[in-house]
A and B are shown apart, each in its own frame.
Chain A
Amino acid sequence: SQQGEEDPQALSIQEGENATMNCSYKTSINNLQWYRQNSGRGLVHLILIRSNEREKHSGRLRVTLDTSKKSSSLLITASRAADTASYFCATDRDSNYQLIWGAGTKLIIKP
């Protein structure tokens, strides 16, 4: 079964609003990553947060990690039409290079 589960499955908001997506996982992890995928093709790495980190920022992105709840959130502030994409979280277990992926959140930004 999938390690990561994104929530919600789909999200539609107005341009300029903030978008929050959540990811839950089942087993202990070493790192958690967020990726963006446009038009069902290649994925772009957004941000990586390590298990000993609680929050990380990159531009308009803010990622939090709560290892006690086995969950992470991705916040995109001041959304733009170009943010329309699917967003995936991926986790790796200790000493395991395989990433386990969720099914993603489809984000639509309405102009």
Chain B
Amino acid sequence: GAGVSQSPSNKVTEKGKDVELRCDPISGHTALYWYRQSLGQGLEFLIYFQGNSAPDKSGLPSDRFSAERTGGSVSTLTIQRTQQEDSAVYLCASSLPFIGGVGGYTFGSGTRLTVV
């Protein structure tokens, strides 16, 4: 597509439930990133996918968080047993391989997750 698409745009869930957030990157972008942004804060890195390489999961805050990327395209971020501190905007971005500073990221509009 023309841009990075994320769904849903808003999600309200009860504490303890599982949620799935979806990201559809720009066609041809081999790199895909998930970030989390709490209110009034900068972005917190969660996970990075590059082509068929093993993802960098170093930013995932706990084992309740997982992500996969099927066929090198669409990615799903799953949060199990949600907690109130998981409430944030989850942003997905894609890019060409980030080599030598070529270009920036293209972000989706994010999913605002509220855990009640």
Contact = CB atoms under 8 A, between A and B. Distances in A.
Interface string B91-108: 101000010010111111
Contact of B48 (A30, A31, A90, A98): A98
B89 A2 contact: no
Contacts of B40: 103
Contacts of A30: 101
How many residues of B sit at the interface, in one of the four size bands? 20 to 34
Nearest to B44: A101
Interface in A34-78: 35, 40-45, 48, 50
A31 B98 CA distance: 11
B85 to A, nearest CB: 18
Interface residues of A, number: 25
Contact of A41 (B59, B89, B106): B89
Interface of B: 4, 31, 35, 37, 39-45, 48, 50, 56, 59, 89, 91, 93, 98, 101, 103-110, 112
Interface of A: 2, 4, 30-31, 33, 35, 40-45, 48, 50, 88, 90, 92, 97-104
Given A41-B89, A100-B45, 11 more contacts: A30-B101, A43-B107, A48-B104, A88-B42, A97-B31, A97-B48, A97-B56, A98-B56, A101-B42, A101-B44, A104-B42
